[in-house]
């Protein structure tokens, strides 16, 4: 997908503090983030990291304690009330629990934000029918939420969120309550909406597989701060933060046994997933190596991820292995237990 480099959203020094009976709690601390027009941007973190608070600050459902939310070059909080309301209408939002109105059927749920915007009834219904076709639910217009599956409810929620033709779609854990097959279909729908309607999509999730499947770039949030941000392929191939390595490499890497032998971390960041890099290295240097850990993702036929390898004890053999990797352009670095 071709992404316009213009920033549609800029978060500048965003902090959010909640007052509780036990004292103030910091949910966000000095967040700086730029989101480009037309991209699918992911924000991932563990439970309690602050990601849901962050997405609510973007459209001012939560007002930041300090900092600025810049939308299309304007500070949202500084806008006159009418202009602020108009800007916020340019940001649709969907949630984990769908938030449909139980007493309204599907088409009336989709019409609801149009009614609030003063759109005439016939025009609103015509728009809703087109959106039902887009999300694949033309035959469920008169059904009620209680008659729908979880995936169908989320499709209705998506149609409702884009009914007013927003520029940004905020998705707060939108697939967490869905099974894997339904999650896949919802993500494909979001990609289609991004591609065909040009809507910038912001995904909040704790699932790396969601980021892998749909996002152009990702920010990792940890303990109320941004730990790292970059292209998904770059983060997958070489996570720099400890939380990034945990989310991408998984907890199994912690079980790697570290002794005094030399070990390297090999990064795969764009080679064909069909290329047997390590097998070819062993055949070339004619010395076995010990695999300690590997996590590789095939994204569009390209390999991304990391592998921890124990080098041969003989220094000459070890150097031959490193020379071979360097000769074919494979990135690597020596690691100790503290680096994992």
Q: Where are the domains of the chain?
A: 7-233, 250-339
Per-residue pLDDT tens digits for 159-218: 999 999 999 999 999 898 889 999 999 999 999 999 999 999 999 999 888 998 899 999
User: Do residues 102 and 146 lie in contact, with contact meaning Cβ atoms separated by under 8 Å?
Assistant: yes
Report pLDDT for 4: 44
In this structure, what token pair is assigned to residue 180?
A: 């894997």
Give the separation between CA 275 and CA 105, rounded to whole angstroms.
52
Q: How confident is the model at residue 254 (pLDDT cuts 50, 70, 90)?
A: low
Name the phi and psi angles at 16, rounded to 5. -140, 125
7-233 and 250-339 in the same fold: no
Per cent of the chain over pLDDT 70 is 89
Pairing of the two strands 168-172 and 91-95 = parallel
Q: How many helices (H) and strands (E) does the chain have?
A: 11, 14
C-alpha distances (whole Å) from 43 to each of 91, 208, 251, 273, 296 are: 17, 10, 20, 26, 21
- The CATH number given to 250-339 is 3.30.70.260
Give the separation between CA 49 and CA 283, rounded to whole angstroms.
45
From the list 30, 20, 67, 21, the residue with the least C-alpha distance to 50 is 30
Give the separation between CA 4 and CA 302, rounded to whole angstroms.
24
Task: Tell me which of 3.30.465.10, 1.10.357.10, 3.30.450.150, 3.40.50.300 is the CATH number of domain 7-233.
Answer: 3.40.50.300
Per-residue pLDDT tens digits for 54-100: 999 999 999 999 999 999 999 999 999 999 999 999 999 998 888 89
Q: State the DSSP code for 179.
A: -
Sign of the alpha-carbon dihedral angle for 35, 10, 173, 219: positive
Residue 233 clears pLDDT 90, i.e. is over it: no
Q: Tell me if residue 332 falls in helix, strand or coil.
A: strand
- Give alpha helix (H) positions in the chain: 51-58, 81-89, 106-116, 121-134, 150-161, 180-197, 208-214, 232-237, 242-249, 277-285, 315-327
Q: How confident is the model at residue 3 (pLDDT cuts 50, 70, 90)?
A: very low
Mean pLDDT value of segment 268-285 = 72
Q: Which residue has the higher pLDDT, 251 or 182?
A: 182
Torsion of CA 279, 283, 288, 293, to 10 degrees: -20
Report pLDDT for 335: 77
Q: How confident is the model at residue 108 (pLDDT cuts 50, 70, 90)?
A: very high
Per-residue pLDDT tens digits for 19-40: 999 889 999 999 999 999 999 9
Quote the mean pLDDT of the chain. 87
Query: For the chain, how many residues are written?
Result: 340
Report pLDDT for 292: 75
Q: How many CB atoms lie within 10 A of CB 283?
A: 10
Name the packing angle between helices 150-161 and 106-116 (round to 10°): 20
């Amino acid at each position: 997908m071709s992404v316009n480099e213009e920033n549609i959203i800029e978060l500048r020094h965003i902090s959010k503090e909640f007052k509780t009976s036990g004292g103030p709690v910091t949910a966000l601390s000095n967040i700086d983030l730029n989101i480009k027009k037309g991209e699918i941007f992911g924000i991932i973190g563990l439970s309690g990291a602050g990601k849901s608070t962050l997405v609510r600050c973007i459209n001012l459902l939560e007002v930041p304690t300090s900092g600025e939310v810049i939308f299309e070059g304007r500070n949202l909080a500084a806008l006159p009330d009418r202009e602020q309301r108009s800007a916020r209408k340019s940001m649709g939002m969907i949630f984990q629990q769908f938030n449909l109105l139980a007493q309204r059927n599907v088409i009336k749920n989709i019409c609801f934000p149009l009614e609030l915007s003063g759109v005439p009834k016939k025009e609103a219904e015509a728009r809703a029918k087109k959106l039902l076709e887009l999300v694949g639910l033309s035959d469920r217009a008169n059904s009620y939420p209680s008659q729908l599956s979880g995936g169908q409810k989320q499709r209705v929620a998506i149609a409702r969120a884009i009914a007013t033709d927003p520029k940004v779609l905020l998705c707060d854990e939108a697939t967490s309550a869905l099974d894997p097959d339904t999650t896949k279909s919802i993500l494909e729908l979001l990609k289609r909406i991004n591609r065909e309607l040009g809507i910038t999509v912001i995904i909040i999730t704790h699932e790396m597989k969601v980021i892998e499947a749909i996002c152009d770039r990702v920010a990792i949030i940890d303990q109320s701060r941004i730990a790292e941000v970059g292209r998904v392929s770059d983060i997958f191939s070489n996570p720099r933060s400890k939380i990034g390595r945990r989310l991408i490499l998984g907890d199994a890497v912690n079980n790697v046994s570290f002794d005094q032998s030399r070990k390297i971390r090999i990064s795969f960041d764009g080679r064909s997933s069909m290329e047997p890099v390590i097998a070819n290295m062993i055949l070339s240097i004619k010395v076995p190596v010990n695999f300690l850990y590997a996590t590789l993702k095939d994204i569009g036929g390209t390999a991304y991820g990391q592998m921890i390898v124990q080098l041969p004890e003989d220094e000459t053999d070890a150097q031959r292995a490193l020379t071979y990797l360097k000769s074919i352009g494979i990135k690597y670095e020596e690691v100790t237990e503290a680096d994992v």
